[in-house]
Amino acid sequence: MGSSSSSRNKIPNAQELMHQTGFSSAHLLRLHDRFESLDRDNRGYLSPDDFEVLGGLAMNPIGGRIIEAFFSSGQDTVDFSSFVRILAHFRPTDRNRNKEGTQQELPSSRTRKLKFAFQLYDLDRDGKISREELLQVLRAMLGLQVTEEQLQSIAERAIQEADLDKDDAISFDEFKKSLEKMDIDTKMSVSFLK
């Protein structure tokens, strides 16, 4: 009959996390609850199969790649601070952070979001999206709904448009250029409720 009151004291390095990521203490508490509910065996870290049970991810055509991008730094577990840091990339960019003196974060957070999206395409992490990799992503997103020829022509057109230095692959800068007019900030941020 114990109580289940969550308190900030359960979260390690709470202050540091708040400072670095910009999440408020209320957000941090909620993310901690979420982390604990995903971590079914109470191990203190998450592994890919903890994500695979989420219905929304399992039905997402690129769900597997999103999970892989979460574990990108070569490890196969993610603890709470890494979890929060990765999710912090997707906060709406906070234009009023001058007080903390972290003006430098503003341009890089757009870059961070783009980097995450780039990693969804670039599976072997060589810094370029090859034609093969593009075909694989298209196949994942479209499944069996289009023919092989249609896939090839779609991939061909996409590469022709974006590949500026004609090396038959899309580098990160070319990727950035092709998305430069897009409002990445709203299209790729998750709006946390206060």
Partner 1 sequence: MEDLWTVAVAVFQLWIFVVVFFITLPAMFGLSLGVTSVYIQILVKLLEWATIRIQRGREEQPSVPAPLPNGIIERAEGSMEEEMEQLRHSRSLEGGEFALSDILYFCKKGLESIVDDQVTQRFSSEELASWNLLTRTNQNFRYISLRLTIFWGIGVFVRYCVLFPLRITLAIIGLSWLVIGTTLVGFLPENSVKYWLSEVVHLTCYRICARALSATIRYHNKENRPQKGGICVANHTTPIDVVILANDGCYAMVGQIHGGLMGVIQRSMVRSCPHVWFERSEMKDRHAVTSRLRAHVAAKTKLPILIFPEGTCINNTSVMMFKKGSFEIGGTIHPVAIKYDPRLGDAFWNSSKYNMVSYLLRTMTSWAIVVNVWYLPPMTIQDGEDAVQFANRVKSAVACRGGLLDLAWDGSLKRGKVKDAYKEEQQKMYSRVIVRQNSISATHTRRDDQS
- Residues in contact with partner 1 by CB under 8 A are 1-7, 25-27, 29-31, 34, 37-38, 40, 51-63, 66, 70, 87, 90, 116-117, 120-121, 137-138, 141-146, 150, 154, 157-158, 161-162, 170, 175, 178-179, 181-184, 187-194
**Please, what is the minimum distance in Å from the beta carbon of residue 67 to partner 1?**
8
Cα gap 46→50, rounded to integer Å = 6
- In the complex, the smallest distance separating the C-beta of residue 111 from partner 1, rounded to whole angstroms, is 15
For residue 140, the minimal CB distance to partner 1 (Å) is 8
Choice between 103 and 145, CB closer to partner 1: 145
12 φψ region: left (φ > 0), alpha (ψ -120 to 50), beta (else):
beta
What's the rounded Cα separation, in Å, for the pair 45 and 80?
A: 7
- Min dist CB 183 to partner 1, Å, is 7
Q: Which is nearer to partner 1, 2 or 101 (CB)?
A: 2
Q: Smallest distance from the beta carbon of 86 to partner 1, in angstroms?
A: 9
Which long-range CB contacts under 8 A does 35-38 form with residues at least 24 apart?
35/80, 35/83
- DSSP run (H or E) holding 79: strand 78-79
How far apart are the C-alpha atoms of 142 and 153, rounded to whole Å?
Answer: 14
Cβ–Cβ under 8 Å, residues 23 and 12 = no
User: In the complex with partner 1, which residue's Cβ is closer, 36 or 101?
Assistant: 36
Complex with partner 1: residue 97 or 115, whichever CB lies closer: 115
Please provide residue 129's backbone torsions phi and psi, each rounded to the nearest 5 degrees: -95, 110
Q: Which is nearer to partner 1, 2 or 74 (CB)?
A: 2
What distance, in Å, lies between the first and last C-alpha atoms of the chain?
31
